[in-house]
Amino acid sequence: MASDPDDPPAPFRYTVFMDMDYTYHYPSQRAPVMARNIVTTSHPLAAQAGLSMLDKGGTAADAAVATAMALTVLEPTSNGIGSDAFALVWAGGGLHGLSANGRAPAGLDRSRYAASGDIPTLGWDGVIVPGAVSGWVALAREFGRLPLTTLAEPAIRYAREGSLVPPEIAYYWNRAADIYGRARRQHEALLAPWFETFTSGGKAPRVGSVARLPDHATTLEAIAATDGQAFYRGDLAEKIDAAARAGGSSLRSSDLAAHQPDWVRPISINYKGWKLHEIPPSGQGIAALMALGIVRLFDLAMLDPDSPNALHIVIEAMKLAFADAHQHIADPDFMQVRPADLLDETYLASRARLIDPNRAQDFGHGEPKTGGTVLLAAADAEGMMVSFIQSNYTGFGSGVVVPGTGIALHNRGCNFSLEAGHVNEVGPGKRPYHTIIPGFVTRTRADGSDEPLMAFGVMGGFMQPQGHVQVLLRMADHRMNPQSALDAPRWQVEKGLRVTIEPGFDAGVYEGLRALGHDLHIHDKPNAAFGRGQSIVRVDGGYIAGCDPRCDGQAVGF
């Protein structure tokens, strides 16, 4: 059972406080957290799991892995054991990129999508090889000190003994139960394992109730004891294979056995001395780099960051970046344009000249899809800094849970294109366009070398590069601290001229953007649709961290 709200573990019993109102009636302010060792993420217990590894003598990499494993239990609404993952790691005087994303099954038959207008998010059609487990192993092996069995201890404990569910996660857990509940009549065999794993009697946990995920505990124990081999070449791989065959998928244990994470060279662009680094394609981080390369040709620092004119320029730059991203980003083995060509100064200048400062335009950037993700950042007193991200893509992912394991499989295959001949066209053995992107910022020293400045990110589907740009501009141009930059209201480019935006700007800002031609849609409150960011900035003697108020999390340190 996922939860049992009527029988919490002794000696605790629920009281009237379960009926508290969890909406926020007044503006509140989070203060940045300052410490020599620090972890920040979207669930407080997961951040503390990582911090406990630093207290045991582990590195920031150990803290990141422990936090990531704990998040699969504590926040299954956005990630899981069947996720993909990426990391940017400052260690040994340089920045290292880790891509732990899977490929489509080798036996995939492209014709299965012939009658589809899109790859469905529910079911096996969007399931490809999960890479997160391999990422945990690779990161801990390369930069950690503690064994995986130690790093898994907090996650296993919370899975077996339970944890209290916070408000935001409870909301998305119940929303998923409602969505899957409506689909269950048509997809009983597919969704029954999800309900057995994540609900109690078909009901998702309420705010403050205890959620237990015993199957997760057993699976994480097997993964930790075998350094991930059980997942890719052992008993768990066979269970995934059996479930895939029963569900009509071409995913096989041989696909899992063939999977390897990749250490990659990050790509970057310099914005006024702030050098933003991203994982290269098939990730969409290059869209953030392109947008920055375009807006640096405008003197935004002279404008109020919350003015219509400043926002307009960045919105238009983001549209142009997405137009190129959706045209060219794919598995790097299939791309026809090099990342360096998209980041070429002459090319970016030509794109910048397309922006009309007085009028919004549709640059054919397409319609971004939604997604759910967790991001964490960790830093230790020895100077190692990590930005780590993992995701099941749409909430719990595909809705497919491998029976008896707690493994909710992601649906990253939904980001393939069905357009014949497109570089990102779905095909066997290919990696899809990937939305999740960790971010990292360095500063350039006088001698030309880089020094670490910030491990950060803003999670959430196609909001992510937009969030990277908005947070970095507020810090680089206006010297905002990391918490304030995360607190600020945000906007999101959607299809055509449509832009969604949060409350919190002055009324004149919305009027000004509409006067410039933007089809503006204002949300009633700040929310996770606009990303949930984390940030750790290096300062003399330690770090300053922020945690997005749109999530349940916090930054913790010592």
Catalytic site positions: 373
Full DSSP string of 359-395: B--------PPP-EEEEEEEE-TTS-EEEEEEEEEST
* Signed CA dihedral, 445, 449, 454, 458: sign only: positive
* Contact present, 48 and 66 (Cβ < 8 Å): no
Going by C-alpha positions, the residue among 405, 4, 10 that lies closest to residue 212 is: 4
| CA pair distance 323, 337, nearest whole angstrom | 14
**3-state SS assignment for residue 428:** coil
| CA pair distance 372, 447, nearest whole angstrom | 41
| CA pair distance 528, 312, nearest whole angstrom | 22
| CA pair distance 45, 336, nearest whole angstrom | 44
* Contact present, 281 and 335 (Cβ < 8 Å): yes
The encoded tokens of residue 68 equal 């990531």
Q: Is 496 exposed, middle or buried (0-12, 13-18, 19+ CB in 10 A)?
A: middle
| CA pair distance 441, 379, nearest whole angstrom | 14
> Which segments of 8-144 are extended strands (E)?
33-35, 38-41, 84-91, 94-100
| CA pair distance 382, 294, nearest whole angstrom | 36
Going by C-alpha positions, the residue among 355, 364, 292 that lies closest to residue 322 is: 364
Q: Tell me the angle at which helices 60-74 and 44-55 cross, rounded to the nearest 10 degrees.
A: 150
* Contact present, 459 and 391 (Cβ < 8 Å): yes
* Contact present, 440 and 90 (Cβ < 8 Å): yes
Residues 379-411, buried b or exposed e (16+ Cβ, 10 A)?
bbbeebbbbbbbbbbbbbbbbbbbeebbbbbbb
| CA pair distance 514, 507, nearest whole angstrom | 11
What pairing do the DSSP bridges indicate for beta strands 372-379 and 385-393?
Answer: antiparallel
What pairing do the DSSP bridges indicate for beta strands 519-522 and 498-501?
Answer: parallel
* Signed CA dihedral, 7, 10, 15, 17: sign only: negative
The encoded tokens of residue 5 equal 């709200």
Going by C-alpha positions, the residue among 336, 324, 344, 337 that lies closest to residue 284 is: 324
| CA pair distance 53, 51, nearest whole angstrom | 5
Phi and psi for 521 in degrees, rounded to 5? -125, 115
| CA pair distance 3, 210, nearest whole angstrom | 6
**Alpha-carbon distances, residue 551 vs 43, 166, 290 (angstroms):** 8, 10, 28
Residue 91's identity, in one-letter code, is: A
